[in-house]
A and B are shown apart, each in its own frame.
Chain A
Amino acid sequence: MTNGIVEFSKQLDKKIVSPLRQVLKGRQLVHVTPPAGFGVTSVDWGKITEMSAGYVSFGFSDGNTDRIDISLTHSKVPVYWKDYEIDRRIYEGWRQGGVDIDAANAIAAAYQAAKVEDTALINGVSNDGTVYDIPGLYQGAGNDYDASSSIATFGTATTALTGALNLMDDDGVPVDRMPFNWVVNSTSYHKIRKSRDTIGTRELPDVLDLLNGGQLISVGTTLTSAQGFVSPTAAVGEPYVDYYLTSDFQTDPKQPEYQKTGPIGGRVFSAGVLRIKQDVAICKTSALA
């Protein structure tokens, strides 16, 4: 009985992982570390706050070591989860063989857990909605370009994006050598996509050109319509920010209350924490209208 439920759970895992990979936006934005293990409940990492200038000379001398100012950051690793139930007859059908698992409930639960994880990565983890216990990419950004303008007006998107890249450039981030993603709310995303000047020239190609190989990404309503941010793509962003994953999405079966007829329950969960090592490599584009 127990082995049957565990096997059933493994089958669900196979069904869940593939659809989740397509919907998860947060994990596409940052480098994801291999799972460290669910038992890891907290993590320490070095946050680079300031780096002194390099040396130039005709020979080497002492004094150019230990120059990186690192503040040790400690964070608890949150768990993202959602419970689900599957009808017992579907389970019995699967057990007797020949019946495909209807994983709709488990997948729906997995989507809910994935949404919570996305919010944590993109915006942050907050209990009261104002103070962020663990800042996400938007709340943890080290630069802010407050656009205060209508993104629908032709030229505003490129001006705001250039301004954001300029702020990061001033902080020593090699913006001309790295691809960046511009992550915005769905409303701004579609406004930028349809922006044209009076003779019909589209603004989007210019935006993509400025992103240096990165993408304009919509995160739906995970950010508000006024919010957005520019960050290095996952391929090059590891020195600046990463997602320290302790447990990838998986299911955990629950013993049914009634042995023969009770529904099979379970839990979908993942665990991990966003580590922003150099916040100046992320720039908000706020007050987009």
Chain B
Amino acid sequence: MKSIYKLITIPIMILFAPAGMADSPLPGKDKSETCLGCHAIPGYNNVYPTYKVPKVAGQNADYIISALKAYRDKDRIHETMHANASALTDQDITDIAEYFESLK
């Protein structure tokens, strides 16, 4: 009898599990599609000057927010990042930052 009870309640619990608890992706996952071209290639190089494209998975969200806003405002040097950040809204930036931080 107990096991029948479980058989019924567990699927119901799963069905009504709040969004986010299941693996519904963060909105920043889709919004960060463009970033993958450089930031998802291990050891990918920036050129002039040459250094490896920084790792951003697991980075702190507030830092990513300030970095992206600085690129958007052209307060921080990097032409490709200026171009990519120029189209981002504040909400996009927050979503991307939360997604990166979630990858700890």
Are A and B interaction partners?
no
B residues near A (Cβ < 8 Å) are none
